[in-house]
Amino acid sequence: MERLSTRLLSWASLIDEKTLAQAYTTARMPFIHPHLALMPDAHLGKGATVGSVIPTLGAIIPAAVGVDIGCGMIAVRTRFTRSDLEGRDLAELREQIERAIPLSAGRYNNKVVATAEPRIAELEALAEKNGFDPAQYAGNWRLQLGTLGSGNHFIEVSVDELDRVWLFLHSGSRGVGNKIAMKHISVAQRLCKQWWIDLPDPDLAYLVEGTPEFTRYIRELRWAQHFALLNREEMMDRVIRQVSEFLGSTVDEQERINCHHNFTESEKHYGKQVWVSRKGAIQADAGRPGLIPGSMGTASYVVEGLGDPQSLNSSPHGAGREYSRSAARRTFTHDELREAMTGIEFRDTAAFIDEIPQAYKPIDQVMADAASLVSIRHTLRQLVNVKGD
């Protein structure tokens, strides 16, 4: 860890000047307490740096949570081993998963399926309790539950160091969460302008605790975070069903972990109750299980938090980009993507060039930087990768 200033601590050995400048700017906001913690996977984001932990006293910056509220990971360890998959056509399994779960931006379910019904009812009750109608943001929000999206979201079948099969996926609150986030970022910007607050970046606009706008944001944020968690649960249940049909045997779960990495919680740190916004970071209290994925062709990790107080009990959420999507498309080729994915069953398309492993920081270095934040329980290697374009 390096103390860059009294209000900025960094665990990142690989970081560019623009990202550092953005982090310094956020750390100077007057309500940061006690300091901003920059994770090993930190890279440039909208307003606030992706891979940062931002504790705020009496205020919240909606853009510091991010536009994919509640985005995170879920993983299930099964009783199966690599030998159960040997000699089988993994392309068939990939295609079965692709048929069961809508992929890509703007793709949703045609109807609410039976497994989603109790989750929809739970979300309807939470929305009523929180005093808002999600349909004002997305009339089809119910059909969005159980869908993956695009970008760096994925579904994978992997094996650990003991050749045990894990099912692993990454997604968030989809279109409805995005619209909730964008609405409150806009409200914060309007209020800061109305109050003549001079911001170093419009995307650092904030809401003040105790105001109606703050209260509404927290209520809708918590709903979106829960939507994201249930969205992952719904997709994982579908993946389990497809694996069961593929292998002709029931999937007995040995372990299930579901964790956010774009979220806000009220926590006590350094003697004060603060709002901790983790934008691309997971909660890593001592003993808490967590998930840190690499890129689509590199290792992912099942971890356990070490409760480092200086990090505000946090750790990285993944590898972190080194190339923007447009830069990756200019730099890398389809053939290089194929080479990077050797031995992994994936949908072979140039649409994924911007997700090539070389566009990300080396996950091994990220995990080395995070050695004081988490311990590694399992290292996962992909056999099957499913993505939306």
* Residue 254: per-residue pLDDT: 96
| Helix/strand/coil for 213 | helix
Would the pTM count as exceeding 0.75?
Answer: yes
* Residue 229: per-residue pLDDT: 98
The enclosing H or E element of 91 equals helix 90-100
Q: What is the mean pLDDT of each run of 10 residues along the chain (389 residues)?
A: 96 96 96 97 93 97 95 97 96 97 92 94 97 96 96 95 97 96 97 96 97 98 98 98 96 96 96 97 98 94 98 96 94 96 95 95 96 98 94
* Residue 263: per-residue pLDDT: 96
Range of the domain at 21: 2-386
Cβ neighbours, 10 Å, residue 178: 20
- On whether the CB atoms of residues 134 and 228 are closer than 8 A, the answer is no
Catalytic residues: 317
- On whether the CB atoms of residues 39 and 370 are closer than 8 A, the answer is yes
* Residue 186: per-residue pLDDT: 97
Q: For position 145, which CATH number holds?
A: 3.90.1860.10
- On whether the CB atoms of residues 279 and 298 are closer than 8 A, the answer is no
Number of domains the chain contains: 1
